[in-house]
Amino acid sequence: MTNEAKPKKGARAKKTVASGGRATQGTAKEAAEMRRKIFINAYLANGHNATQAAIEAGFSKSTAHVKGSQLMAEPEVKRALEVRMAELVKRYELTTDMVVRSLVQALRFDPRNLCDQDGKPIPVTKLDDDTAAALMSMETVQKGGDEAPVIIHKFRWESKAAAREQAMKHLGMFEKDNKQRTDPFADFLASMRSSLPVVRE
């Protein structure tokens, strides 16, 4: 017969974590910290979507929006995001001026600057900075035999339509345009509704 040690009076029993049991306070704190880290990484990776980042951190879809907002409001999360974003900007040397300049380069791109006066392609190393920045790719293809070869030069540059749309968003032109724009059909329906008699039950 073995004697079992009895806990001393007044002594607090230590919490343990059994298989399938509830986590202790320390473990819960570590889990919360891990969720914050996952949330921050997901938020930066998905284009700053707090709800989706909360889902990635393990929260249910029904509570992700609320949990995401709560995490974004935490001072610790705010500081971590500021530090991480500053590191990314420094690492890639990305500034607002650079983004705007790239849009301007795409909008002002002139394909005539790719060739000299005789129509021959200018070597990439001799292109001006704006033209080189807007140019996405260039390719030289030879067709026909060696006796009568046909040289084809293919150029691909940034879409002016896409650059124009991005520039308009940057300048807030869509918002201004939407405020001034009216829908004739919607206005017609509104006028019809106002002319109808009110039916009271």
* DSSP per position, 134-201: HEEEEEEEEES-SSS-EEEEEEEE--HHHHHHHHHHHHTHHHHHHHH---HHHHHHHHHHHHSPPP--
Closest CA to 71 of 28, 26, 41: 41
Give the per-residue pLDDT at 190.
59
164 Cβ contact partners less than 8 Å away, ≥ 6 residues apart = 107
pLDDT tens per residue, range 6-16: 555 544 444 44
pLDDT tens per residue, range 18-32: 334 444 455 888 888
Question: Position of tokens 């600057």?
Answer: 113
Give the per-residue pLDDT at 182.
54
As a whole number of angstroms, the distance between CA 71 and CA 69 comes to: 5
Question: Position of tokens 């790239």?
Answer: 102
Give the per-residue pLDDT at 102.
83
Angle between helices 25-45 and 75-92 (to 10 degrees): 40
Residue segments in the chain with a per-residue pLDDT below the cut of 50: 2, 10-24, 196, 198-199, 201
As a whole number of angstroms, the distance between CA 55 and CA 63 comes to: 9
53 contacts 67 by C-beta, under 8 angstroms: no
Kindly report the pTM of this predicted structure: 0.39
52 contacts 42 by C-beta, under 8 angstroms: yes
Closest CA to 83 of 117, 40, 45, 52: 40
Give the per-residue pLDDT at 97.
76
48 contacts 58 by C-beta, under 8 angstroms: no
As a whole number of angstroms, the distance between CA 32 and CA 54 comes to: 12
Helix (H, G, I), strand (E, B), or coil: what is residue 123?
coil
160 contacts 152 by C-beta, under 8 angstroms: no
Give the per-residue pLDDT at 11.
47
